[in-house]
Structure 1
C-alpha cells in the first residue's frame, strides 16, 4: 500500500469524524437554547405536555447528551498523537511549541467563554498539559488511565466514600432555603442571558468561571474529557486509522458489543422509570445509576467512533465523507461559529429567543445550521488553505503569517 495514500485516507477519515462530532455538538447545545447551564424548571414547564419535546428529550438522553464532547475529546487526543508521530526527526521543540499552542488555545477559549460559558477550549488547553505528560507513559498505563477516567471513576469513588462516611446532615429547612436560593440564581442567570445587554452578558459569563469549574469537578466531566484524550492518544499510537483495513473486523466487533450493552442499559433505565418512582429507590442506587450512565456514555462514544469510521470508509459513503471533511478541516472555526449563531438567536443582544422555541424545532434548526456550515466550509476551503481561526492559531504558533490563499488557476 502506498504510505502517502494511507496517510491521506486517514486524514480524510479523521476530518470526517470531526464533522460528525460537530453535528452532535451543535444539536446538544441547541436543545438547551445555548444556555450551557441549568435551565430553570419554570422554563421547561410550558413544554411538559408536548409529545415532540418528550420524544426529543428521550433522543437527547439516549443518543446525544454526554456523547459528543467525549467524541470531540477523543479526536483531540488522536490529533495530538498524530502530530507527535509525524513530527520531523530534527524537531526538538515540539513539546514547547505544543505548550505555546495550548496557551493560545486558552486565550481563544477565554474570549469564547465570556460570550458563551459552555466553551470547552479553555478546558482542553488546561488538560492538554497533562496529555503532553501522558505521552511519556507506556501504552499499558495510558490504557488503564483512559478506562478509569472515561468511566468517571474518581467521582464514583468520592460518591461511594461519602455514602459510607456521610458528613453531618443539613436540616431540611436549611436544605430547602439553599435550594430556593439556587433556583432564584438559575432564573436570574437565565434572564440575564435571554434579555441582558452585551455588557451584562459578558459580566455574567465572566462570573460563571467559578460555576463552570465547580460543575466540571463535581460532575466529573474534566476527568471524562481527559480519559478520552488518552483514548485518542492510544488509538494514534497504535495507528488504528493508518491500518484501518486490517482492523475492520475488530471495529465491527466493538460496534456490536457496545450496541448490545447499550440496549441492555437503556432498556433497564426506561423500564425502571416506568415502574418505580425515583424517590422510592434506595439511596445507594444514585451511585449505581451514575456508574451505569458512565458506561452508557463511554461505550456509545466508542460505538459512534468505530461505527462511523466503518461507514465513512465505504466507497458508497465517499461523497458523504468528503462533505463532512470540509467541516472537520475547519473544526475550530465551525465550533466557534456555532456558538456565534446560537447566541445571536437566543441571547439578549441578539433575538433573545431562549426558551421560546420547542426543543424539537431547535433540533431541526441545529441540523440546518450544520448543513449550511458544510456549504460555507466547502466554499472557503476552495479559496483558502485553512479556516480563519485555524490560520490565526497556526500563524501565532509559528510567529509568522502562514500562507492562506490558494493560487488561482488561470483560465485559457
Structure 2
C-alpha cells in the first residue's frame, strides 16, 4: 500500500525485528561457539541472548502473520496463495545461493498451512495461538530435557566448512540439501503457526493499526512481557554458557519460551511510544527499515557470507561474539540509514517492487 496509508507501528516493529535477527544470525555466519565466549565476548553473548535470541524471530513471525491476515482479507485466497508460493521460491533460492538458515521459505510454507485457521474469529485465533504455542514449548522442554550427556558434547549447528572451500562446492552441498530443507520448512510450521495466529489476532483486533484504542493492553504487554521474558532470557543465556548437548537442546526450548513474552514486551513498548505527540526518531528510522524488510534480510545474508565464508575473507570460526555482533550491528545501522535515503528517492525496496510486480502485475 502507499506510504501515507501504512501504519507506523508494524513497520517499526519489523525494523526492530530485522535488527535483532542479524545480531543473532551472525553467530551462524561467523561460526563461533556461544559456550566458549569469555570476558567481553560473553557479556555480548548474554546481552543478545536476553534481548534478541528467539525474541526477534518471534516478533518477525507475528508480523508475518499480521500481514498474511491483511492480505487474506483484502485480496482473498488466490492472491494470498500466489504471493506465498513466490516467497517460497525466493526462500529456496536464498537457501541455495546464499545461506542455509533461510526463514522466508519456511514462513511461506507455514502461511499456506495457516489457511486452515484464517477463517476463524479473532477470539478463536487467540485460543489456537496459545494452545499451539504452549504445546510446542512443552514438547521442546520435555523432549530435549530427557537427554543426559557428558560435558564437551555440545554441537554447533552452523556449517562445517573445509578450509578455503569454494563457493561452487558450498552451492552444490546446499543444492543437494534442498529436499531436506523442504521437509524442515514443513516441520517449522509447528513453531511459526501459533506466532502467525497471534499476529492475525493483532490484525483483526486493530492492536497494531489503531494502538490508541488499546492503551491498557499495551501497558500489560509491556509489564508482563518484559517482566516474565527477560528473566527467562537470562536462563537462556546461562544455558548458552554450558558445553553439554543437553544444555544445547534445552536452550532451543528456552529460546521459544523466552521469545514470545519479550516480543510482546516490544509490542507494548513501541505501541506506547508510537502514541507520543511527537513520534520518537528511533521509531521512524526503524519503520523506514521495516518497509525494506525483504531487501534488507537478503542483503544481510549476502554481506555477512562475503565477510565470513571461506570463499572470500575466510574469517569463519576465527572471530568471537563481540567482533561478530559488532560487525552485524554496523551493517544493521547502515541499512537503517540507507532506508531513509532510498525511500526518499524510490518509495519501495527493489525486492519488494519485484515481488509486487510478480503478485499484482504492477510496481
Q: Helix, strand or coil: the match of 1:31?
A: helix
For 2:160, the equivalent position in structure 1 comes to 190
Match for 1:339 among 273, 297, 301? 301
- 1:26 partnered with 2:9: no
Q: Judge conservation of contact 1:326–1:377 (CA < 8 Å) in 2.
A: yes
Cα shift readout 1:255-286 (whole Å, capped 9, x = no counterpart) = 11222223554567789999xx998xxx9x99
What is the CA-CA distance between 1:19 and the residue it aligns to? 0.7
In structure 1, distance between residues paired with 2:192 and 2:71: 19
Structure 1 residues 159, 9: closer, same or farther in 2, change over 3 A?
Answer: same
In structure 1, distance between residues paired with 2:341 and 2:79: 31
Q: Judge conservation of contact 2:13–2:270 (CA < 8 Å) in 1.
A: yes
Q: Judge conservation of contact 2:72–2:80 (CA < 8 Å) in 1.
A: no
Which segment is superposed worse, 248-257 or 111-120?
Answer: 248-257
Structure 1 residues 190, 312: closer, same or farther in 2, change over 3 A?
Answer: farther
In structure 2, distance between residues paired with 1:142 and 1:49: 41
Match for 2:265 among 271, 278, 303? 303
For 1:233, the equivalent position in structure 2 comes to 200
**CA RMSD, Structure 1 to Structure 2 (Å):** 3.7
- State the number of aligned residues: 358
- 1:350 partnered with 2:312: yes
Structure 1 residues 233, 186: closer, same or farther in 2, change over 3 A?
Answer: closer
For 1:56, the equivalent position in structure 2 comes to 44
Cα shift readout 1:162-190 (whole Å, capped 9, x = no counterpart) = 99xx9xx9xx9xx99xx99x97x979x42
TM-score normalised by the chain length of structure 1: 0.75
Structure 1 residues 53, 211: closer, same or farther in 2, change over 3 A?
Answer: farther
In structure 1, distance between residues paired with 2:5 and 2:354: 26
Q: Helix, strand or coil: the match of 2:51?
A: helix
Q: Judge conservation of contact 1:156–1:287 (CA < 8 Å) in 2.
A: no
Structure 1 residues 68, 212: closer, same or farther in 2, change over 3 A?
Answer: farther
For 1:144, the equivalent position in structure 2 comes to 127
Cα shift readout 1:11-50 (whole Å, capped 9, x = no counterpart) = 1221111111100011011133x16xxx5xxx649x9363
Cα shift readout 1:290-346 (whole Å, capped 9, x = no counterpart) = 766543222111112222222243245432222112211111011111111111101
Q: Judge conservation of contact 1:30–1:366 (CA < 8 Å) in 2.
A: yes
What is the CA-CA distance between 1:242 and the residue it aligns to? 3.3
Q: Helix, strand or coil: the match of 1:348?
A: coil
Q: Judge conservation of contact 1:69–1:225 (CA < 8 Å) in 2.
A: no
In structure 2, distance between residues paired with 1:131 and 1:26: 26
For 1:202, the equivalent position in structure 2 comes to 171
Structure 1 residues 211, 104: closer, same or farther in 2, change over 3 A?
Answer: closer
**Residue segments in structure 1 that go unaligned for 5+ positions in a row:** 1-6, 403-412
Structure 1 residues 293, 13: closer, same or farther in 2, change over 3 A?
Answer: closer
- 1:248 partnered with 2:230: no
Which segment is superposed worse, 203-212 or 114-123?
Answer: 203-212
Structure label with greater radius of gyration: 1
- 1:122 partnered with 2:91: no
For 1:359, the equivalent position in structure 2 comes to 321
In structure 2, distance between residues paired with 1:113 and 1:271: 31
Q: Helix, strand or coil: the match of 2:348?
A: coil
